[in-house]
Chains A and B, each alone.
Chain A
Amino acid sequence: DVKVTQSSRYLVKRTGEKVFLECVQDMDHENMFWYRQDPGLGLRLIYFSYDVKMKEKGDIPEGYSVSREKKERFSLILESASTNQTSMYLCASIYNTEAFFGQGTRLTVV
């Protein structure tokens, strides 16, 4: 079974903090994605990566950056957390058009 693991299930951070969300997959997939999910808006693509050190902006990249130093790990960085970044963050590893998601990180920015 494919396993995608996100480092935290719940996080509470203060406005202005730099926040790191980590995601690791164990299936050697090339394509990894970060989404955020909000009620009524569904999943929105923040960034994705199709190879080590490669990254592409999704639909809502503002306020975020990413890092992919190793194939199995894709990190999402909130440079200076703001309250409007309070959300559920989902990491996915995608192979042959099927997405395998981590369990999600519910981030609250206060």
Chain B
Amino acid sequence: RKEVEQDPGPFNVPEGATVAFNCTYSNSASQSFFWYRQDCRKEPKLLMSVYSSGNEDGRFTAQLNRASQYISLLIRDSKLSDSATYLCVVDLSGGYNKLIFGAGTRLAVHP
């Protein structure tokens, strides 16, 4: 079983739609959680951290459910520029910042 699992998509949504991605992780000792964004042929970049209490950054909301070991990302009012692959990332840590990446969920926003 993969340590971090995501639905690969693609999710094809119209502009203005709300879309949600889920991610599950297998290691209950995981300490930190993140969403990264990767544009086509570019390197991944940090989108946002995920906190236990849930957190919001503009149109983006991230939530963590430790009991069920899943993480979610909600994007409201989708823009064309949101088209990208969204990577769920877990830090197994132990102090070395050992980040484990999911395979990513592809989002395509169309006019």
Per the CB 8 Å criterion, the residue count for chain A at the interface is: 24
| A94 and B49 alpha carbons, distance in the complex (Å) | 14
Kindly identify, within residues 31 to 63 of chain B, every residue whose CB is under 8 Å from any CB belonging to chain A.
Answer: 32, 34, 36, 42-46, 49
Tell whether, in the assembled complex, residue A48 and residue B87 are in contact, meaning their CB atoms are under 8 Å apart.
Answer: no
Is A35 an interface position by the 8 A CB rule? yes
In the complex, are the beta carbons of A97 and B43 less than 8 A apart? no
Which of A13-21, A78-86, A99-107 faces chain B? A99-107
- CB within 8 Å of B: which A51-69 residues: 56, 58
Contact status of A31 and B44, CB under 8 A, knowing A40-B8, A97-B32: no
Flag if B43 contacts A42 (CB, 8 Å): no
Given contacts A42-B87, A42-B104, contact A48 B44 (CB under 8 A): no
Residues of A82-96 at the interface with B, using a CB-CB cut-off of 8 Å, are 90, 92, 94-96
| Residues of chain A within 8 A of B96, CB atoms compared | 31, 48, 50, 56
- Asked if B13 is an interface residue, CB under 8 A from chain A, the answer is no
Which residues 90-111 of B sit at the A interface, judged by CB distance below 8 A? 91, 93, 95-104
B residues neighboring A (CB under 8 Å): 4, 8, 32, 34, 36, 42-46, 49, 87, 89, 91, 93, 95-104
Measured CB to CB, the residues of A under 8 A from B are: 31, 33, 35, 40-43, 45, 48, 50, 56, 58, 90, 92, 94-99, 101-104
